[in-house]
Amino acid sequence: MDNFTPTQYQLRCVATDHLFEDDGLALEDPQCKCASLIRTEYAKKQIEVRDNSYGLYKYCDWLPVRRMLKGSAAPVTYKSKGLAEAIGLENLYITFSGYWPAIGAAMTTCSFKETEAYSVCGRFDESKGRILVVASAGNTARAFAKVCSENNIPLLLCVPEDNLDALWFEAPLNDCVKLISVQKGADYFDAIHLSNTVLKSHRFVAEGGAKNIARRDGMGTTVLSAATFIGRIPDYYFQAVGSGTGAIAAWETAQRLAADGRFGENHMHLMVSQNAPFVPMYDAWRARSRELFAYDDHHARRDAAIIDAKVLSNRKPPYSLAGGLFDALTATDGDFFVSTNAALRKASRLFQQTEGIDIHHAAAVAVDSLLQAVKTGKVAKDATVMLNITGGGEQLFKKNKQMWYLKPAIVFPLTAKESDIIARTEALFA
């Protein structure tokens, strides 16, 4: 790893096909006049997977990184026996991102958000003096806090006050990590709005969410894990979605694997799901509408408060833009499911009973969508299925440990003035 050289790649605009160079911060093509994602085009067309000592960076050929950071772990794929037998699938493969030493899974934040954080921060150049800003409903903040704390990267987190219980750690964090929150009753969209206000200061730079190529390519390592373990691209990919970024990443990665030539053709159907009653993307997809329907603030906050899987409550997901989830579902002939709280809790218990590990609520939504797909005959018994378990092992990791919780330096009311938000936040990094 000491001899690592930055990965060679260029960026391409999905809408216009324009190819351009990355400045290390690009989130879009400045020449593009419409809403569009950009994608990474790697110089190396056939991936060479390194050994496990590289952690997540075993996939560095297809990660847009200029350096490797310490502490990373890769997703782990295995062939299911217990769950597969319980639901009648012959070729069910589980890709697990979390903490489960028995299978070699070592993500201590217990979430696949670590795949994003190590990739984004491996691309980010903090020597330019800008402070990275991340808005999150919980798991993403925990992952970025861990990575930045351990690697001394200045970070500002924006998290709703109602979600602070997700910011647990086994030890106090480096002071380079700061947290600001929006008052109780606010949701993830309010945290995004807070971060956008802060970003009006030149001292801060947006991580970018779905628009960040490093975030999506980091998440795509789940599909790399599955395909390299199975030896082929799966037929079906199951994941719960809040923004849909992980599913978009899966689609993009499957296309790279098809172009590699060693993993079969790309016919991987995206099978995604949301937690009712917060289902804006499901509603739009069922109507085959590229545009999301109106979802007023009051009802969105109410619905976000009801669902168990809080991380799935993104009001402004990358659904409609070029290369977004609508395009991904259309291109893959995908499908969309909905799970109630009761259904996901039942699915969570089934997974723990059959596979032997606890999983996060969002992962349980994905399990329930798989159960629905099998029951309704949408997935053949002999199909090669990838189930993306995006978080798990938290109960196991926390067992007999005293957790430390990150507290906000400032809690802003929804009515806070922009000038006050900017001035007080800049002072945190004085």
Q: How many Å separate Cα 268 from the centre of its chain?
A: 19
Short-list 148, 150, 193, CA closest to 429: 148
Q: What is the DSSP secondary structure assignment for residue 134, as one 8-state letter?
A: E
What is the pLDDT, as a whole number, of residue 37?
Answer: 98
Q: 122: Cβ–Cβ under 8 A, 6 or more apart, which residues?
A: 57, 63, 65, 66, 67, 68, 69, 214
Tens-place pLDDT, residues 230-266: 999 999 999 999 999 999 999 999 999 999 999 999 8
d(CA 408, CA 399): 25
d(CA 61, CA 54): 12
What is the pLDDT, as a whole number, of residue 3?
Answer: 66
Structure tokens at 228: 């390299």
Residues 36/323, Cβ–Cβ less than 8 Å: yes
- Mean pLDDT of the region 404-422: 96
Half-sphere exposure of 66 (CA within 13 A, CB side): 10
Please tell me the pTM assigned to this model.
Answer: 0.95
- Mean pLDDT of the region 320-335: 98
Tens-place pLDDT, residues 179-196: 999 999 888 889 999 999
pLDDT at 43 over 60: yes
pLDDT at 289 over 70: yes
Q: Count other C-beta atoms under 10 Å from residue 208's C-beta.
A: 18
Residues 250/270, Cβ–Cβ less than 8 Å: yes
pLDDT at 299 over 60: yes
- Mean pLDDT of the region 9-19: 98
Tens-place pLDDT, residues 361-393: 999 999 999 999 999 999 999 999 999 999 999
d(CA 72, CA 78): 20
What is the pLDDT, as a whole number, of residue 4?
Answer: 78
d(CA 219, CA 116): 6
What is the pLDDT, as a whole number, of residue 115?
Answer: 98
Residues 244/281, Cβ–Cβ less than 8 Å: yes
pLDDT at 2 over 70: no
- Mean pLDDT of the region 288-302: 95
Look at the block and give the residue holding tokens 């109106």: 294
How many secondary structure helices (H) and strands (E) does the chain include? 14, 18
d(CA 200, CA 210): 20
Instruction: Give the mean pLDDT of the chain.
Output: 96
Strands 105-106 and 99-100: antiparallel
As a 3-state breakdown, the chain gives helix, strand, coil percent values, each rounded to 5, of: 40, 20, 40
